[in-house]
Amino acid sequence: MDGFLQWLDKIIVWYNDYIGGYAVLFMLIPTGIYFIIKLRFLNVWALPHAIKVVAGKYDKKGDEGDVNHFKALTTALSATVGTGNIVGVSLAIYFGGPGAVFWMWVTGFLGMILKYTECTLSHKYRSFKSDGTVAGGPMYYMEKGLKEKLGKGAKILALIFAGATVIASMGTGNMAQANSISNAFHHTYGIENWITGVILSGLTLIIVIGGLKRIAEVTSLLVPFMAALYIISAMVVIGANYQNIPHTFYIIIHDAFTGTAATGGFIGSTFIMTMLWGVRRGLFSNEAGQGSAPIAHAAAKTEYPAREGLVASLEPLIDTLIICTLTALLIIDTDAWKSGIQGVGMTVTAMDSGLTRLGLPDIGNHIVTLGLFLFAFSTIIAWSYYGATASVYLFGEKSTKKYQFVFGIFVFLGSVWGLDLVWHFVDMAITFMAIPNLIALLLLAPVVMKETKYYFENVKYK
């Protein structure tokens, strides 16, 4: 079995290094720049209005959908605010150096406009299942929106994306999260990975069988709490080392274009590797352009697609530009990035050393472990909905229970598999979703422009 996994890992690494990674890199950034220009930096000037929408100012009881704007946002955020914010940032810095954080910022800023675009389209082309609940996502806007342009090709593209979503749900939203949780509990409390895997699988199945409404109820409680806990703790450590902040930003920006020389436990990185790892982990963190969040936002109660697109644009701001930045500052300010520790251990070391200097020893590891558990577990249950929706598109509504059972098994597998294989699989799965989705976004750009113009000229304050 070990020999097979090593062989599989080599194939996946080859694909990521020579095909998938560069394909996403050279599609994601240009597509984001294109929409930034076409929409005239909408993610900046429309930000105040987007916040008002999330706050419920425009909620209406009679609107069709499953959840309100806030719950749609927290469900999608629970899928994006996960291990990418704790483990993903540390891996980006481990392999790409501090400069990788700059490219995560670029991905996050462009991600705001990409989230707006894909979630606007998802809401516009959503469908309703036989029980009255919503089914939406890129596969629906590919099939419906591109039918005239691509003919049968639209359905084929939609099937490819839906299949990729099922695969990614097992990796991005499942194994990577479960793996990080089990490793964190083993690192902090000495709990065997298989024990964590069994418990996680059981908890996951209990929640996901209840469908989106139960998932939304859980995530709307978990997301604010877990974000506040982690943000406050990180800010305390960063604030205690405030004199290092200007130099940290200098290192990040300088190394983004020059690479990073070997130092301490860090092996060094070239410019292209710095950029590649920043984009990879940035995309994993906020999922902009990947096409996952549109599945959740399609269920929002509103008759205006652009309004839900604005709500979605807040995700990369919260996820990457705020929470990931705090993790990066935490790691770089405390010099934990030079430790040579890979994965969650780097973030644990940073938090623990920072709080120890403040006279609070042996607390940081518990905060990171608890934060990681809440982040990652909420991601698991949110991604179960994404994968189930794609499964319904591919195989019909009766496939949901079977999918959920298999999903539970993969939670266990992710808990016990090695770190490298899991993350390599995650990178591969992301490209399978992002490439067809970015193609669809470009082809449907005129629809986005039309919806945006209609909303801001006719119904913005209704």
| CATH at 110 | 1.20.1740
User: Is 308 within 8 Å of 123 (Cβ atoms)?
Assistant: yes
2: in domain: no
Which residues touch 134 (CB under 8 Å, ≥6 apart)? Answer: 65, 66, 126, 127, 128, 298, 299
Cα separation of 444 and 449, whole Å? 9
Cα separation of 377 and 370, whole Å? 10
> Which segments of 241-291 does DSSP mark as H helices, in order?
245-258, 271-286
60: in domain: yes
Give me the domain span that covers residue 423: 8-459
Per-residue confidence (pLDDT) for residue 130, from 0 to 100: 72
Query: Average pLDDT for residues 273-299, to the nearest whole number?
Result: 79
What one-character DSSP code corresponds to residue 191? Answer: -
User: Is 349 within 8 Å of 108 (Cβ atoms)?
Assistant: no
What's the pLDDT band for 263 if we cut at 50, 70, 90? low
Residue 212 clears pLDDT 60, i.e. is over it: no
1: in domain: no
Listed ranges 17-26, 277-286, 361-370, 398-407; the one with the highest mean pLDDT: 398-407
Side chain identity at residue 56, one-letter code: G
Cα separation of 135 and 300, whole Å? 11
Cα separation of 289 and 333, whole Å? 31
Residue 209 clears pLDDT 90, i.e. is over it: no
Strand partners, 385: none
User: Is 75 within 8 Å of 212 (Cβ atoms)?
Assistant: yes
Query: Average pLDDT for residues 68-93, to the nearest whole number?
Result: 73
How many alpha carbons fall within 13 Å on the CB side of residue 256? 16
455: in domain: yes
32: in domain: yes
Average pLDDT, the chain: 82
222: in domain: yes
Question: How many domains are contained in the chain?
Answer: 1
Per-residue confidence (pLDDT) for residue 304, from 0 to 100: 86
∠ CA 330-252-274, rounded to 5°? 110
214: in domain: yes
User: Is 65 within 8 Å of 134 (Cβ atoms)?
Assistant: yes
3: in domain: no
Give the DSSP H/E element, type plus range, for residue 134: strand 134-135
Give the DSSP H/E element, type plus range, for residue 127: strand 127-128
Residue 342 clears pLDDT 80, i.e. is over it: no
Residue 447 clears pLDDT 90, i.e. is over it: yes
- Is 347 exposed, middle or buried (CB count within 10 Å of its CB: 0-12, 13-18, 19+)? buried
Residue 160 clears pLDDT 80, i.e. is over it: yes
